[in-house]
Amino acid sequence: MRRLFKTVQWKMVIIYMLLILLAMQFISAYFAREVESYYINNFSEALNGQASLLASLLESDLRPHDGKESNTEQNRQYIDNLINNLVKINGANVQVIDQTRTVVATTEDKSTIGQRTSQPEVTVALLGTRSESMRIDPKTGARVKVLALPVKGDQIVYGAVYMVASMEGTYATIGKMNGILGTGTMIAMVITAVLGVVLARTITKPVKEMTRQARLVADGDFNSSVRIYSDDEIGQLGMAFNHMTLRLQEAILQQEEEREKLAGILSNMTDGVIAANRNGQIILFNRAAEDMLQVTMADVLLKRRTLYDLLGLPPEDEMSLYAQEEPLIIEMTLPNKEEVILRVTFTPLQHDSKKMGGIIAVVADVTDQQRLEQQRREFVANVSHELRTPLTTIKSYVEALLDGAVEEPELSQRFLKVTSSETERMIRLVNDLLQLSRFDSQGVRLHCKEADLNRLLHYAADRFSMFSEQQEVQLSLDMPSKLPLVYIDLDAINQVLDNLLSNAIKYTPQGGTVVLMAKENHKQRRVQISITDTGIGIPSRDLKRIFERFYRVDKARSRGQGGTGLGLAIARELVQAHGADIEITSEWNVGTTVTFWVPFAQGGKTG
């Protein structure tokens, strides 16, 4: 209700009604006063007329005649008839009083006849002056008019006429008139309210429609327009509003098109784009930046993060981004613990007033490039080192032979064995490099067919039985008597088993054990193969890099064992080429388990 009376329509209606009510109040007050004055004066004049007539008629009856008493029974009877017939019909009570203030006749209680009256108005009248007053009847509580008029002749007062007339009838008539006036006022107010509402609606209805249309426009709905009811000022305002809505719709559509183009460009950029205001607080984030930094735009905006915070940069007072002309290379750890290398280029934004505005940061993930470059450098260094070491050994022993060691059969034989061993090591290294190079350039080409895994694993164990005995390591098999046929490339899986078994036996101390296990999984339709040893193990920090080329945990020991550092990398390439995967679990000084799986052949027949 309170909100209702705040509307323009009801304000206009209320003001209009208040004006009418104020005018009606003035008119009603004036009219009521005039009506009351008219009726009271009319009542008083009628009462005075009756009293004057009665006084003139009673003069002869109250005047003494030759010393005779005027209060004879005959006169008294005449006076009673006179006052009853003349005044009684008006409802007035009349007393006729002689010179001695004695009641001669009355229309009221007859017992008062012959008694003296003490009314002050009578006293005044007997002095020859008319007296009248208004009072409240103590018996009835009614308002009465009291009038005392002298009865005189020849300037001699013979008595008085005392009249008491009730004015309730007159005031009732005045009340009825006031009631009629009040009813008329209420009817006028109702008609005024109706007319006010109608008049206000003609003004407020177009305004309400414009208000509703403004809300729709604010919500993005431009399909409706304001209805024009007239050509007056409000109608012209409605037409101007419709024109403004049309122009606003065109401007917003154009802006939306530009925004969609920009959003499309930003979302399809491979580089991340981050926009920040002059305080460094981020205001825009594209999808590529979210993927690179593993954060969401909503979270960044909610936490009011800055470029310095997000990219892990020093505070602004230590490094101003506006002065950063060259791209920054930043190494950072993402929330998922992944380490990335980012190249960030900063572009300041300037206002038309040449003041510095925000700043745009273009982020590129150069992790793979940097790692490839690092791997390339390490690869060149490792290959150079791996080739130089055996070549240096061969050169040293050949020079010794040339210097005369060939004359000593036992010494020359030992030198030639070392030279042959180093030559074989170089050949293995070159073959492994050629194989990996072929994998990189042509992919792994497999010739898969159904194979008996039981026979394949027993054959691998037989091949390494002699080597394990030489190393004093116990090699055993742990698998079911029958395994399903598998669909593999025999040469590739043989090479994987050779690399894994060779590493397990070489890095297991004397007295240790190596177990070759196989377990079938009918639900996933594959056979899981694992090699478990009780060797020196691999530290947890090295596990994630163990499949990298030339990566060794203990480089000196690996070279002493004749390894090239490429075996695990080749094994992973061959296993993954089968659509499978390989993983390593290890604990330092406890042992290592390498697990991979191969798929069932069609039908899963047992071997």
In the block, tokens 């290890």 appear at 586
| 400 half-sphere exposure, CB direction, 13 A CA radius | 17
What is the model's pLDDT at position 605?
A: 45
Residues 186, 17 contacting (CB under 8 angstroms): no
Nearest alpha carbon to residue 513 among 460, 562, 468, 561: 468
Residues 146, 136 contacting (CB under 8 angstroms): no
Which three-class secondary structure state does DSSP give residue 216?
helix
Residue 333 φ then ψ, to 5° = -105, 125
Cβ neighbours around 463 below 10 Å, total? 14
Q: What is the CA radius of gyration of the chain?
A: 63
Which H or E element spans position 493?
Answer: helix 490-506
Say what the alpha-carbon torsion angle 164, 168, 170, 176 is, to the nearest 10 degrees. Answer: 180
CA–CA separation, 309 vs 293, rounded Å?
12
Nearest alpha carbon to residue 331 among 321, 342, 315: 342
Residues 238, 210 contacting (CB under 8 angstroms): yes
What is the model's pLDDT at position 607?
A: 39
Residues 55, 151 contacting (CB under 8 angstroms): yes
Tokens of 363: 């982020």
Residue 159 φ then ψ, to 5° = 170, -160
Cβ neighbours around 556 below 10 Å, total? 8
Side chain identity, residue 405: A
Angle between helices 409-442 and 367-402 (to 10 degrees): 160
User: Count of residues for the chain?
Assistant: 607
Instruction: Return the exposure string of 386-414: e unless at least 16 CB atoms fall within 10 Å of the residue's CB, then b.
Output: beeebeebbeebeeebeeebeeeeeebee
65: DSSP letter: B
Tokens of 353: 């007033």
What is the model's pLDDT at position 528?
A: 92
CA–CA separation, 177 vs 364, rounded Å?
96
CA–CA separation, 58 vs 376, rounded Å?
152
CA–CA separation, 402 vs 292, rounded Å?
61
What is the model's pLDDT at position 555?
A: 54
CA–CA separation, 295 vs 333, rounded Å?
12
Secondary structure (DSSP) of 113-166 = TTSBP--HHHHHHHTT--EEEEEE-TTT--EEEEEEEEEEETTEEEEEEEEEEE
In the block, tokens 């030639």 appear at 416
Tokens of 1: 């209700």
Residue 250 φ then ψ, to 5° = -65, -40
CA–CA separation, 183 vs 127, rounded Å?
49
Angle between helices 233-268 and 168-218 (to 10 degrees): 30
Nearest alpha carbon to residue 506 among 483, 539, 536: 536
Residue 156 φ then ψ, to 5° = -115, 130
In the block, tokens 């920090």 appear at 541
Pairing verdict, β 582-587 and 474-478: unpaired
Query: Average pLDDT by consecutive 10-residue portion of the chain (607 residues)?
Result: 58 74 80 82 83 79 61 69 66 80 80 81 83 83 85 83 83 83 81 76 76 80 77 79 84 84 78 82 82 81 80 74 76 77 81 68 81 73 68 79 76 79 74 70 78 90 87 90 89 87 89 92 90 88 78 57 69 87 88 92 54
Residues 149, 22 contacting (CB under 8 angstroms): no
Side chain identity, residue 469: E
